[in-house]
Structure 1
Amino acid sequence: MASSAARGRASIARALARGRERVGRRDARARARTSDVPAHESSLAAMGLTPERRTGGGVRATGTTFTTSATCPFAHRCWLALTELDAGYDLELVNLEAKTEAFETLFARAAPDARANPSVPILTHDGTIMVESALILKYISETFEREGKSIRASGKTGYYGQLFADTFQQCVPVFFKMLRATNEADLGEAVDAFVAGLKKANRVLELGAAARAGGPYACGEQFTTCDIMAMTFVPRFEIVLAHYRDFNLRETLARNECSALEKWIDAVSSRPSLVYTFGEIERLTGKTHEQAFVDHFAKFVTWRSNEGRVAT
């Protein structure tokens, strides 16, 4: 019988293959631009997952520019939100290892500290420049919402969904500790803390089970910003930790009886918006999204264990 890890990888692979096929057939007007490619249109429509909206020669982005890097997990949140809400926007891709003066100037115009290290995402909408992924995500969810398309959470499910997102995100700094570990003792301590964090996130999903009424997402049947805040790190945890630390996320969840978290990961991993952005990451980087993620986090790893690591 296939393991939960193998089933999860197979499910994602099938979804990604379908997404690539649809992206390959998409209309040229729906392509993202870097500096000289036409404006980005409906992402989900480009995949054939929703009806494409058309006005005359096609819907064009009007006054909205999303500035990001292809592989940043924090900026990925806002990209997913724009995709989910079928928003029109121009995509500006930046290389964070070779920042341009124009990018640095744009960031400085909006950052609380104009001298801070420029980062993504940056959203420019109707003349206003915005920074910080959580704030931009909230703005997108409120501003681009329309009838039949909402990713905002509310009520009891919103409470449990946000509690889950906040709890799951506590694993993120521990993820970086695992990558930055320089000896077995430090790595072992980080692994233990990471697994403890996963157990807490699983517990929150269990606590909110009645409110979710069997729905697969953090707020039940509705996919919301609570899912988005947490889910961009799921593929990074799976791919990057397996590569650099021989850590199998799915097997760890199964061994620690985190079935609620497993089900949530299955649900968000096959979300069409995620599959779409994986395809775009591959198109923009010229690599598989797995390799792109591994390369993105390479700068945090200075030591590799000679022994395989398996969480306990």
Structure 2
Amino acid sequence: MQARVLLRTPTLAASRVHRLSARRAMATMALQFWAAPVCPYAQRGWIALKETGAKHEYKAVDLHNKSPEFVELYRKVVQDPEANAKVPVLVDGELEITESPVVAEYILNKYGPSTGILPSEPAQLAKARLWADLWGSYVGPAQTAILQADTKAKVAEATDKMAAALKVMDAFLRSQGSTEGGAYFLGGRYSIAEVLTTSLLQRAIVYPKAYRGVDLRQLVKDNKLERFEAWMEAALARPSAQETHPDEAKLVEHGTKFTKPMQD
């Protein structure tokens, strides 16, 4: 009887190690990030994951042929059985969330508090978030106007709108940002301001130039927007921005869905 117990002991120990390893593996894979590389909003969360180094499983979503699994997950998250499923969706254990600013901030809060990307000082955090909101209010509509302009005259008008939008952003950077130690919105400190806007900047450079010949970089230079230019180059040079930048050919192909054909 005693010998039989001795023979079983290694098997039991091995079984415990196996179960422990399995639990650890499950915990490692518990963080799932559902996204589409061409989506600038999903890219926000991906940038946050890169910045924090959080281990995760990237679940690629085909926006033209969404899987039933993803659609079901999204509808469960928002509690709407007929919702149009959108990226990103983050699954962290029992937590399931969507909407890009929510996802990005959750990742930064939980997995990257030591990075300082989310400023602890309320005024800095508010200004950084406002920067992202202003992008959506000024640069976003100007970009849409360029892509929807279907005559040369309309393109010229929309280009002037973009120039005006960039002037607003440059002025806000000068007024509310910092140049201490670097060119990010908060100077030498990379923050949520860049996490939420870099993917949008990348597309503002690619789409207008590809479809309408409007070069955003040249527009910035022509209007002598030095502070914005410095911020732009710093944001684009960030490793997390470069590592998550989608293939440009695929990006241009994706842009056809929201670009009008030219009439002249």
| Same-fold call, TM cutoff 0.5 | yes
Q: Is the 8 A contact 2:33 2:57 kept in 1?
A: yes
Who is 2:251 aligned against?
A: 293
Q: Which moved more, 1:167-176 or 1:68-77?
A: 167-176
Q: Which amino acid aligns with 1:293?
A: L
Distance 1:254 1:186 in 2: 22
State the secondary structure of the residue aligned to 2:86. Answer: coil
Shift in Å, 1:197: 1.0
2:96 partner SS = strand
More helix by share: 2
Counterpart of 1:100 in structure 2 is 67
5+ residue gaps in structure 1? 1-56, 282-288, 307-312
Give a deviation string over 1:268-307, Cα, whole Å, max 9, x none.
11101112223xx4xxxxxxx221210111111231265x
Q: Which amino acid aligns with 2:56?
A: Y
In the TM superposition, what is the alpha-carbon distance from 1:59 to its structure 2 partner?
11
The residue that corresponds to 1:164 in the other structure is 131
TM-score, normalised to structure 1, is 0.71
Secondary structure, aligned partner of 1:153? coil
- Once residues 259 and 300 of structure 1 are traced to their aligned partners in structure 2, the CA distance between those partners, rounded to angstroms, is 30
Q: Deviations over 1:109-167 (max 9, x none)?
A: 012544221110000111121111011111111111243x2310243443433332222
Give yes or no for the alignment of 1:222 onto 2:189: yes
**Structure 2 letter corresponding to 1:152:** L
1:117 pairs with 2:84: yes
Kindly indicate whether residue 111 of structure 2 is the aligned counterpart of residue 153 of structure 1: no
Are the aligned partners of 1:69 and 1:96 in contact in 2 as well (CA < 8 Å)? Answer: yes
Counterpart residue identity of residue 203, structure 1: A
Kept after mapping to 2: 8 A contact 1:217/1:264: yes
> For the structure 1 residues 191 and 305, does the alpha-carbon distance in structure 2 shift closer, same or farther, using more than 3 Å as the test?
farther
SS at match of 2:84: coil
Query: Partner residue of 1:195?
Result: 163
State how far apart, in whole Å, the 2-side matches of 1:172 and 1:61 are: 37
Q: Structure 1 residues 64 and 275, CA, compared in 2 at 3 Å: closer, same or farther? A: same
Distance between the aligned counterparts of 1:205 and 1:58, measured in 2?
A: 44
| Correspondence for 2:238 among 268, 271, 276 | 271
Matched, 1:182 2:123: no
Match of 2:200 in 1: 233
Q: 1:73 deviation in Å?
A: 0.5
Residue in 1 that maps onto 2:96: 129
Alignment-mate amino acid for residue 170 of structure 2: N
Q: Alpha-carbon deviation of 1:87?
A: 0.5
Matches within 5 A, 1:84-95: 84-95=51-62
Identical counterparts, % of pairs:
26
Q: Does the C-alpha gap of structure 1 residues 292 and 60 become closer, same or farther in structure 2, counting only changes over 3 Å?
A: farther
Change in 2 beyond 3 A, CA 1:58/1:123:
closer
CA distance in 1: counterparts of 2:28 and 2:244, whole angstroms = 18
After TM superposition, what 4+ stretches of structure 1 lie above 6 angstroms from structure 2? 57-60
Contact 1:107 1:114 survives alignment (8 Å): no
Conserved? CA contact 2:198–2:241, under 8 Å? no
Alignment partner for residue 303 of structure 1, among 258, 261, 264? 261
Unaligned runs of 5+ in 2: 1-23
Aligned: 1:138 with 2:105 = yes
- Any idea what SS the aligned residue of 1:237 has? helix
Aligned mates of 1:247, 1:197 — CA distance in 2: 14
Q: 1:183 to 1:114 in 2, by over 3 A?
A: farther
